[in-house]
Amino acid sequence: MKIVVPIKRVVDYNIKPRVKPDGSGVETTGVKMSMNPFDEIAVEEAVRLKEKGVATEVVVVSVGVQQAQDTLRTAMAMGADRAVLVLSEESPEPLAVAKVLKVIVAKEDPGLVILGKQAIDDDMNATGQMLAGLLGWGQGTFAGNVEVADGKVKVSREIDGGTEDVSLVLPAIVTADLRLNEPRYASLPNIMKAKKKPLETLNVADLGVDTTRRLTIVSVAEPAERKAGIKVETVSELVEKLRNEAKVI
Amino acid sequence: MSEAERESMSFDVVIVGGGPAGLAAAIRLRQLSPQTSVCLIEKGSEIGAHIVSGAVIEPRALSELLPDWKERGAPLNTPVATEDMLFLTETRSFRVPALDKFMPHMANHGNYIVSLGEVCRWLASQAEELGVEIYPGFAASEVLIENNRVVGVATGDMGITRDGKQGPNYQPGMELRATYTLFAEGCRGSLTKQVMQHYDLRKGVDPQTYGLGIKEVWEVPPEKHRPGLVQHSFGWPMDDNTYGGAWLYHFGENLVSYGFVIGLDYSNTWLSPFDEMQRVKQHPAFRKHLEGGRRISYGARALSEGGLQAIPRLTFPGGALTGDSAGFLNVPKIKGTHTAMKSGMLAAEALVDAMSTERVEPASYVQLIKESWLWDELKSVRNIRPAFARFGMKKGAVYSAIDAMLLKGRAPWTLHFRHQDNEELLAASLCEKPAYPKPDGKLTFDRLSSVFLSNTNHEEDQPVHLRVKNQGLWRTVNWDVFHSPESRYCPAGVYEVVNETSEPALHINAQNCVHCKTCDIKDPAQNIDWTVPEGSGGPNYPAGM
Q: Which residues of B touch A30 (CB under 8 A)?
A: 115, 117-118, 121, 542-544
Judge if B360 and B489 occupy the same domain.
no
Yes or no, beta carbons of B46 and A32 under 8 Å apart? yes
In B2-148, beta strands by DSSP E: 7-16, 38-42, 56-57, 78-79, 82-88, 93-95, 112-113, 133-136, 140-146
* Position B386 in a domain: no
Same domain, B139 and B36: yes
User: Which CATH number goes with the domain that contains B328?
Assistant: 3.50.50.60
Confidence of residue A89 (pLDDT cuts 50, 70, 90): confident
Mean pLDDT for chain B? 94
**Is B337 one of the catalytic residues?**
yes
The answer, for A187 touching chain B at a CB cutoff of 8 Å, is yes
pLDDT band for B401, please (50, 70, 90 cuts). confident
Is B120 catalytic? The answer is no
CA distance A1 to chain B (A): 26
Is B544 within 8 Å of chain A by CB? Answer: yes
Specify the pLDDT at position A4: 98
Assigned domain for B422 exists: no
pLDDT tens by residue, B64-74: 999 999 999 99
Structural domain includes residue B236? no
Residues whose CB falls within 8 Å of the CB of residue A117, separated by 6 or more in sequence, listed in order: A38, A125, A128, A141, A142, A143, A175, A176, A177
B163 and B34 together in one domain: yes
Residue ending a domain, among B380, B402, B428, is: B380
What's the pLDDT at B12?
Answer: 98
| CA neighbor of A41 nearest in space, from A15, A67, A8, A16 | A8
Specify whether the CB–CB gap between B33 and B9 falls below 8 A: no
Q: B459 lies in which domain range?
A: 440-530
Put simply, the answer to whether A31 touches B542 (Cβ < 8 Å) is yes
Judge if B357 and B480 occupy the same domain: no
CATH code of the domain in which B499 resides: 3.30.70.20
Q: Count structural domains, chain B.
A: 2
Asked if residue B139 and residue B21 are part of one domain, the reply reads yes
- The per-residue pLDDT for B2 is 46
Are residues B57 and B143 both part of a single domain? yes
- Quick: pLDDT tens for A69-84: 999 999 999 999 999 9
Question: Active site includes B364?
Answer: no
Residues B64 and B154 in one domain: yes
Q: What is the pLDDT of residue A91?
A: 81
**Backbone phi, psi, residue B195, to 5°:** -65, -40
> Quick check: B238 and B530 in contact, CB under 8 A?
no
Chosen domain end from B357, B380, B403: B380
Distance from CA of A45 to the nearest CA of B (A): 14
List of residues 6+ apart from B89 with CB closer than 8 A? B235, B236
Higher pLDDT pick, B103 / B282 = B282
Q: What is the ipTM of this complex?
A: 0.86
Q: Does B252 touch chain A (CB under 8 A)?
A: no
Residues B136 and B55 occupy one common structural domain: yes
Is A15–B455 a contact, with Cβ atoms under 8 angstroms apart?
yes
Q: Cβ of A182 under 8 Å from any chain B Cβ?
A: yes
Is the Cβ of A15 closer than 8 Å to some Cβ of chain B?
yes
Q: Do B457 and A32 lie within an 8 Å CB cutoff?
A: no
Apex B489 CA angle, B487 and B490, nearest 5: 70
Which of B188, B516, B518, B536 is labelled catalytic? B516
The predicted structure's pLDDT at residue A115: 98
The sign of the CA dihedral B423, B426, B428, B433 is negative
Domains and CATH numbers, chain A: 2-244 (3.40.50.620)
Chain A residues within 8 A of B117 when measuring between CB atoms: 30
Q: Does A19 touch chain B (CB under 8 A)?
A: no
Contact between A30 and B121 using a beta-carbon 8 Å cutoff? yes
Res. A151 pLDDT band, cuts 50 70 90: very high
Identify the domain boundary among B328, B354, B380.
B380
Q: Is residue B234 part of a domain?
A: no
At B412, the pLDDT band (50, 70, 90 cuts) reads confident
